[in-house]
Chain A
């Protein structure tokens, strides 16, 4: 849930990723729809700018770094073991 609200932003970012990375490496891009709203030094600065300019709406804030491996893993959750109990 939620990721589908950023499909347009994701497509824009993927189409512009190399250009943004070359121009603003290490910075945080704020994207709304198919538009770059701005580039910021920190994630919190990007979020504050987004709230001020756009309001509490879906927005994509992404750090401009080379592609990362998987960033969230929780084996117990994904395997359904958090609430596993004996079969009886």
Chain B
């Protein structure tokens, strides 16, 4: 099982050992998001263009039951909803759309085909995706706050 160990250094004035980098930035990892393989195949068969992958950053969110992608990424990839999910918010329950998605984690050389992820508004967070416990249940995630690094094996 490949393991990615990430030490956060993309903060102002990083030092080789900067534990607060992880505290400030969170457990973030590079992602590539694209249409599900079955949709790409269908679009190709219809002679339609396949949207270009979207690259960005995901936050590993152990508090999220499911993975979620930003609504703007949904638009860029031309995704159509295939289902609904009940969303628990401070204001009560609401319904949110679900979308099929292909996720690549370049640092792990790992591809995950989701039957569905939740669409949500991540504007202002700096993230294109939240990686939730539906992904974490597939592997091992270690958060080392003392050294300022985390490891993810999938």
Contact = CB atoms under 8 A, between A and B. Distances in A.
Interface residues of B, number: 47
Given A52-B42, A74-B130, A69 B80 contact: no
Contact of B86 (A61, A71, A79, A82): A71
Interface in A16-52: 43-44, 47-48, 50-52
B96 A3 contact: yes
Contacts of B97: 1-3, 5-6
Best-buried of B39, B65, B82, B85 by chain A (most CB within 10 Å): B82
Contacts, number: 121
A69 B65 CA distance: 12
Nearest to B64: A74
Interface residues of A, number: 35
A50 B82 contact: yes
B82 to A, nearest CB: 5
B71 interface: yes
A65 to B, nearest CB: 13
Contacts of A43: 115-116
B115 A77 contact: no
A2 B116 contact: no
Interface string B85-112: 1111110011111011000000000000
Interface of A: 1-3, 5-6, 10, 43-44, 47-48, 50-52, 55-62, 68-79, 82-83
